[in-house]
Amino acid sequence: MTVIYEDNHIIAVNKTCNEIVQGDKTGDTPLSETVKAYIKEKYNKPGEVFLGVTHRLDRPTSGVVLFARTSKALARLNAMFQSHEQIKKTYWAIVQGAPKMPEARLENWLIRNEKQNKSYIAKPGAKDAKLAILSYKTLVRGDNYTLLEINLETGRHHQIRCQLAAIGCPVKGDLKYGAKRSNPDGGICLHARQIEFVHPVSKEEICITAPVPDDALWRALTTQIS
């Protein structure tokens, strides 16, 4: 676990593709418990440590995850994430090939299949379908892969993975959405790069950036960003 920001009310960590944010059926220790243990030891906290989960990342996704250290911060951050106001998340993705348009705004209706834990493109207005909107732009185009920057306008299940696959550019390593092969670490090349928000207590503008994974392809592409 790598802490990239902390104060009295919030703490942010750079999640790896092997970590889960909250407990699930695997029984693996979630990040929330690891962060609690870190706070308890660092600040010599007696008793139970409070930690609130404000948002989640899919297990195979890496990047910044923000937790609340106080109930006041948790309530206010939850409201921000639900309304998409005063908060902005930026993702980087390495995708197969290259999109036809170097930048675009994608609008799709998505249906989530709970049993498969997968989302599908649906016709507009289809039953149970939800509108998903994102914008992307090309940062670096390589021989076989392209590095994209993505900004979400909605927060749908597997939205980035599904929408990029629909334009013929699945995220590298994402077998569920059409990638040719898996990544050695079992993750996918989708990284929650940055989160910008108004601090829930101090009201300051906060910007937290998560370093990309220590991987040869990530290094090769990101070093070309002008």
The residues that are catalytic are: 58
Give me the residues paired with residue 144 across strands.
none
Beta strands in the chain (DSSP E): 2-6, 10-15, 52-53, 62-68, 87-96, 103-113, 118-122, 130-141, 145-152, 190-198, 205-209
DSSP state of 176: G
CA distances from 136 to 81, 155, 159, 166, 222 (A): 20, 15, 13, 14, 16
Element holding 77 (H helix, E strand) = helix 71-83
- Token pair of 8, please? 């009295």
Distance CA 151, CA 153 (A): 7
Tokens of 78: 């939850």
